[in-house]
Structure 1
Amino acid sequence: MALTWKDTGTIAETLYDNDPDLDPTTLRFTELHDMVCALPGFSDDPEKSSEAILEAILQAWLDERE
């Protein structure tokens, strides 16, 4: 399955599964962006990212940790 920036929930779940001990609040948006772009199956344009999208991924990731 190809991931795009619209798949915030799936991206967050994948990031959590890859490193469940990582506190996502310690990441800068540039680091989060790079992590998303490096995910297997991520095929969207890196330039289509926005602060709002990264915030949504971060919030979904925090929800995964609960």
Structure 2
Amino acid sequence: MRWTDIHDIAIGLDDAHPDADVVNLRFTDLHKWILALPGFSDDPNRSNEKILEAIQAAWIEERG
């Protein structure tokens, strides 16, 4: 997975952290959790606030 695989990341996060408070999640934690996902292999420094916001929004939608 790469940073652009927003939907796949959201699914992986929901599987790995089913009890997380997605709405009030700190981006530092979100970034760390994404890097820990199995199959994630993109450069950790390529993320930014816009990407993390998109992932958070997709994760919220995934839970909906």
TM-score for both structures, normalised by structure 2: 0.93
Instruction: Answer yes or no: is the 8 Å Cα contact 1:20–1:65 preserved in 2.
Output: no
Greater mean alpha carbon deviation, residues 21-30 or residues 10-19: 21-30
Letter matched to residue 53 of structure 1: I
Partner of 1:22: 20
14, 39, 43: which one aligns with 1:41: 39
Aligned partner of residue 44 in structure 1, secondary structure: coil
In the comparison of the two structures, how many residue pairs are matched? 64
Partner of 1:13: 11
Cα deviation, 1:8-66, whole Å, max 9, x if unaligned, reads 11000110112222111222111100100111111000000010000000000000111
TM-score for both structures, normalised by structure 1: 0.90
CA RMSD of aligned residues (A): 0.9
Specify every segment of 5 or more residues in structure 1 that has no aligned partner in the other structure, as ranges.
none
Identity across the alignment (%): 55
Specify every segment of 5 or more residues in structure 2 that has no aligned partner in the other structure, as ranges.
none
